[in-house]
Structure 1
Amino acid sequence: MTTHYSIDHLPGRTLAVDGQEYLFFSGTSYLGMAQNPVFQSLLQDGMMRYGTVFGSSRNGNLQLRIYEEAEQKLAAFARAEAALTLSSGMLAGQAVVNWLKEQGFGFLYGPNAHPAIWQEPTQRLPALSFDAWTRQLPDLVAAAPTPTVVIALNSLDALCSVAYSFSWVNQLPENQSVILLIDDSHGLGIIGPAGSGIGSQIPQRANVRLIVTASLAKAMGLPGGVILADPATLNAIRQTAFFGACSPIPPAYLYAFGQAQDLYRAAFSQLKTNIRQFENRVGDSGLFQHIPDYPVFYTEQDRLYSSLLTKQILIYSFAYPTPADKPNTRIVISALHRPEDIERLGDYLYEESS
Structure 2
Amino acid sequence: MADWLTALDRRAELRAKAGLTRRLHPRGADDVVVDLAGNDYLGLATHPEVVAAAGKALSEYGLGATGSRLVRGSTYAHHDLEGTLAGWLGTERALVFSSGYLANVGAVRALVRPRTLLISDAHNHASLIDGCRVSGVETVVTPHADVDAVAAALAGAPGRPGLVVTESIFSVDGDLAPLARLHAVARQHGAVLLVDDAHGLGVTGPAGAGAVAAAGLAGEPDVVVTATLSKALGGAGGVVAGPAGYVRHLVETARTFIYDTALPPAVAAGVHAAVELVRAGDDLRAELAERADLAAGRLRGAGLDVSVPDAAVVSVTAPTPEAATAWAAACRDRGVAVGCFRPPSTPDSRSRLRLTIGAGVSRADFERALEVIVECAP
Tell me the secondary structure at the aligned position of residue 230 of structure 2: coil
Shift of 1:214: 1.5
Aligned to 1:212: 225
1:113 and 1:312 map into 2 onto residues whose CA distance is 31
CA contact (8 A) 1:29 1:218 kept: yes
> SS state of the match for residue 278, structure 2?
helix
Shift of 1:168: 2.2
Q: Which residue of 2 aligns with 1:231?
A: 244
Structure 1 counterpart SS, 2:111:
helix
- Which residue of structure 1 lines up, in the alignment, with residue 141 of structure 2? 126
**Which of 332, 335, 340 does residue 359 from structure 2 map onto?**
335
CA contact (8 A) 2:226 2:241 kept: yes
* Structure 1: gaps of 5 or more residues: 16-20
Tell me the CA shift for residue 129 of structure 1.
3.2
Aligned length: 342
For residues 115 and 314 of structure 1, do their structure 2 counterparts lie closer, same or farther at Cα, with a shift above 3 Å needed? Answer: closer
Partner-residue secondary structure (3-state), 1:162: coil
Alignment partner, residue 312 of structure 1:
335
Instruction: Give runs of aligned pairs for residues 43-192 of structure 1, distance below 5 A.
Output: 43-60=54-71, 64-102=75-113, 104-117=115-128, 118-120=131-133, 126=141, 128-130=143-145, 133-144=146-157, 146-169=159-182, 171-172=184-185, 176-192=189-205
Instruction: Please state whether the residue corresponding to 2:224 is helix, strand or coil.
Output: strand
Is 1:106–1:146's contact at 8 Å kept on the other side of the alignment? no
Deviations 1:155-198 (A, max 9, x none): 12221121222242365276632111111222212122222112
Where 1:290 maps in the other structure, the secondary structure is: coil
2:307 equivalent in structure 1: 289
Cα deviation for residue 48 of structure 1 reads 0.8
Alpha-carbon distance, 1:35 to partner: 3.0
Distance 1:99 1:3 in 2: 33
Distance in 2 (CA, whole Å) between partners of 1:173 and 1:84 is 24
Amino acid at match of 2:309: I
- What is the letter of the counterpart of residue 75 of structure 1? A
Determine the structure 2 residue equivalent to 1:9: 28
The whole-number CA distance in structure 2 between the counterparts of 1:188 and 1:161 is: 13
- 1:252 corresponding residue in structure 2: 266
Deviation per residue, 1:233-279 (Å, 9 max, x gap)? 10111111623323221112222233344433466633531541463
Counterpart-to-counterpart distance in 2, 1:326 and 1:124: 24
- After superposition, the C-alpha distances for 1:123-149 in whole angstroms (9 at most, x for unaligned) are 97636232xx31122222122255320
CA-based RMSD: 3.4
| Structure 1 pair 175–64 and aligned structure 2 pair: CA distance change class (3 A) | same
**Following the alignment from structure 1 to structure 2, what is the Cα–Cα distance between the partners of residues 174 and 343?**
44
% identity of equivalent residues:
22
Structure with greater strand share of residues: 1
Give, as a single letter, the amino acid of the residue that structure 1 aligns with 2:203: I
Shift of 1:205: 11
Q: State whether structure 2 residue 39 is matched by structure 1 residue 28.
A: yes
Q: CA deviation at 1:322?
A: 4.4
Aligned position for 1:18 = none
Residue by residue over 1:15-35, the C-alpha shift from the partner in whole angstroms, topping out at 9 and shown as x without a partner, is 3xxxxx532211212222323
Alpha-carbon distance, 1:329 to partner: 0.7
Q: 1:319 to 1:124 in 2, by over 3 A?
A: farther
**84-93 or 63-72: bigger deviation:** 63-72
Deviation (angstroms), 1:8: 4.0
3-state SS in 2 of match to 1:226: strand
The verdict on how the C-alpha distance between 1:82 and 1:232 changes in structure 2, with shifts beyond 3 A counting, is same
SS across alignment from 2:70: coil
The CA distance in 2 between the partners of 1:3 and 1:65, in whole Å, is: 39
Q: Which deviates more from structure 2 when the two are superposed, residues 93-102 or residues 299-308?
A: 299-308
Structure having the larger proportion of residues in helix: 2
Q: What is the distance in 1 between the residues matched to 2:217 and 2:49?
A: 38
Which of 155-164 and 313-322 deviates more? 313-322
Q: Distance in 2 between matches of 1:161 and 1:53?
A: 34
- Cα separation, partners in 2 of 1:200 and 1:351, compared to 1, 3 Å: same
Q: How many Å separate the matches in 2 of 1:108 and 1:152?
A: 6
Q: Which stretch of structure 1 is more off in the superposition, 305-314 or 217-226?
A: 305-314
2:8 equivalent in structure 1: none
Task: Please say if residues 111 and 125 of structure 1, whose CA atoms lie closer than 8 Å, have aligned partners that are also in contact.
Answer: no
Judged with a 3 Å threshold, the aligned counterparts in structure 2 of structure 1 residues 249 and 103 are, in CA distance, closer, same or farther, namely farther
Q: 1:164 to 1:306 in 2, by over 3 A?
A: same
In structure 2, what residue type is equivalent to 1:198? A
Deviating more after overlay: 168-177 vs 134-143: 168-177
Secondary structure of the equivalent of 1:163? coil
CA distance in 2, matches of 1:95, 1:240: 9
Give TM-score, length-normalised by structure 2: 0.77
Which residue type is aligned with residue 227 of structure 1? V
Change (3 A) 1:66 1:205: closer
